[in-house]
Amino acid sequence: MPYVITIVPVMPLRAEPSHRSEIVSQALWGECAEIIETGTDGWVRIKCQFDGYEGWGTVNHLEIIDERLYNAPYTHYTPSWVNLVKVNGQPMHIPFGCLVKKDNGAVTTWGRAEVQFEEKLKEAGNGGQLDQEGLTAAVFLYLNTAYLWGGKSVFGVDCSGFTQTVFRTLGVSLLRDAYQQATQGKTVDFLQEAKLGDLAFFDNPEGRITHVGILLNDHEIIHSSGRVRIDPIDNQGIINADTGIRTHQLRIIRRLS
């Protein structure tokens, strides 16, 4: 099956091959995937390289690439809230956290697309010791971003898209959904032992994990709920800082590094 790369700032991935279908996730600019099914009217079902997530996209958001580029490592990411590049000589503004497979030099080629980097990229982390300074800078770029089901960018983000995109700039690979992320890392037994970068997970009345956020310390969490916000947290869960109402029931805390 062909390999492809995303050449628009944010590509929606849909449950079905229709613009009216639910957006289940997104692929950010520079994200590679494999076409696993071809539909009609330009729709293709893809499997994202980074997390294995599948969904329907359109071919005009993608560029076919060779296996060499597909297998190359992600080396850099876009560090600003919005970043300027040129694709085939035309300007494009792309969001924070786009992972990039960058050749040496200011210009690189993705299939038929000539990509010119107008601003400096930042080297992606290696997944070792957690870069707390980088983590702090990343999470605060999202502050007050609107909640968007399936979203993964500073233009609109859901809870697990927020955690995934932040951590992948640090070289830490998270799965796409909150319940999947809850299987990663190691358990922190008590909230009082939590530190910056630990992930807190929350369940619904049926016991299903439906929400995740990033702990700033043992009493504050940043998470996407209505918007990306900072709220107090205790052993029971999250309390909305504006209303004083408890909104999420704490289930488990996980540490990734």
> CA 45 → CA 34, 51, 83, 87, distances in Å?
8, 15, 28, 24
CA dihedral sign of residues 102, 108, 110, 115: positive
Which DSSP category does 74 fall into?
P
Distance of alpha carbon 231 from alpha carbon 71, whole angstroms: 40
Catalytic residue selected from 61, 159, 219, 248: 159
Question: Catalytic site residue 223?
Answer: yes
Question: Catalytic site residue 98?
Answer: no
> CA 208 → CA 29, 162, 201, distances in Å?
32, 19, 10
By the 10 Å C-beta count (0-12 exposed, 13-18 middle, 19+ buried), 255 is classed as: middle
Cβ atoms of 152 and 143 within 8 Å: the answer is: no
Number of other CB atoms surrounding residue 119 within 10 Å? 12
Question: Catalytic site residue 19?
Answer: no
Residues designated catalytic: 159, 211, 223
